[in-house]
Amino acid sequence: MQRREILKKGLVGLGGVAAASTIAAPAIAKERVEIAMVATWGRDFPGLGTGAQRFAKRLSDMSDGRIQVTYYAAGERVKAFDSFDEVASGNAQMYHGAEYYWKGKHPGWAYFTSVPFGLTYTEMNAWIRFGGGQELWDELGADYGLKGLMCGNTGVQMGGWFRKEMNSVDDFKGLKMRMPGLGGDVLAKLGGSPVSLPGGQIYENLISGSIDATEWVGPWNDELMKFYEAAKYYYYPGMHEPGAMLACGMNKTWWDGLSKSDQMMIEAASSMENDVMMSEYNYKNGAALKRLINDQGVKLRQFNDDIYDGFAEASEEVFAEVQEHSDLANRIHQSFVTARTDIGAWAEISDQAYLQQRNRALGG
């Protein structure tokens, strides 16, 4: 009897070991995921390019190397503005860029970077995540075989570099200025000639006189581009991009074929870069602006009310044309306006009111 009890206990013990072994056994290894990622930025370009590269590396690191991202800067695989078609066709799986570059395909794309008198960084995040923005972005993207995610932001951009002082809306007549997106359409309404150029081509066109003025991003990036060598007047704030969101765009068929966990990993890496890039710009812009003024003799100027009123009037004309384009364009615009009104009303008595009082009280 004692022998039988020992055997019984031993078998139970073995069963327990077997059960424990089953629980502890590693899950079946998932397949390796290879991603070709094209970008609209030059390699190692601070902020925009390095942010895209940081996202690609983070995604590989988060997966312990199972997800392998091969990053191609602008011109290394395709030209900057060919990134959209490269991914939509399935030749590459992912791009990093600014969605307003594709407004010629559909004006709705512009809203998912920034539009004139648009949303700030915090407002954009709120609209995309909770105000129906992501759903509209998905609907637009599906028509082109794409899926987009937030993947960076540069915040409120500067108004641009000019060779002369800008005193009225009349000063924009005949002005050849690098300005993409719907902001370029506003410039055209004022009699200017908007030019869309990749970042790597702006300096040479400004120096040669092919363009008279340019906007780009903000002090950190603009200092590196040395625009001050051709234009000394630096205007703010930019009405055209108050919170320029960047995107991770993916081939939708490829995206839909990923596991839910891989999709969530990409979403997490993309969302993190959306935060990290904005933090970097906020930290570095102020010091860069001081250097531009103190070391390079840049003349900082603020657009006057007359010019801003002109911007606003022209932007309403542009928005009216966008709404006439299609039902989807109209729905995107209406959703954007609702977000700007509702979120903006809260920002006015929270962030904006606090900053005004803080600066006043501290003598800033």
Of 156, 153, 180, nearest to 245 by C-alpha is: 153
Contact 144, 104 (CB under 8 A): no
Mean pLDDT of 227-246: 97
Write down the pLDDT at residue 18: 41
Mean pLDDT of 281-287: 98
Average pLDDT over residues 256-260: 97
Q: Counting every residue, how long is the chain? A: 364
User: What is the arithmetic mean of pLDDT over 331-339?
Assistant: 98
pLDDT at position 19 over 50 = no
For residues 150 and 137, give the distance between their C-alpha atoms in angstroms, rounded to a whole number. 10
**Is the pLDDT higher at 278 or at 197?**
278
Q: Residue 364's pLDDT is what?
A: 63
pLDDT for the residue numbered 12: 40
pLDDT band at 200 (very low <50, low <70, confident <90, very high): confident
Please say if the pLDDT value at position 221 is more than 70.
yes
- Alpha helices (H) along the chain: 2-24, 48-62, 83-88, 121-130, 133-142, 181-189, 202-208, 219-225, 252-256, 260-296, 305-325, 327-349, 351-361
Q: Which band of pLDDT confidence, cut at 50, 70 and 90, is reported for residue 77?
A: very high
The structure tokens listed for 364 are 């800033």
**Average pLDDT value for the chain:** 93
Segment 141-158 shows an average pLDDT of 98
The pLDDT assigned to 7 comes to: 39
> Looking at the whole model, is its pTM more than 0.85?
yes
Domains recognised in the chain with CATH numbers: 33-152+243-282 (3.40.190.170), 160-241+286-361 (3.40.190.10)
Phi, psi of 292 (to 5 degrees): -60, -45
Residue 29's pLDDT band (cuts 50, 70, 90)? low
Upstream peptide bond of 107 is cis (omega within 30 degrees of 0): no
Average pLDDT rounded to a whole number, residues 293-308: 98
The pLDDT of residue 65 is above 70: yes
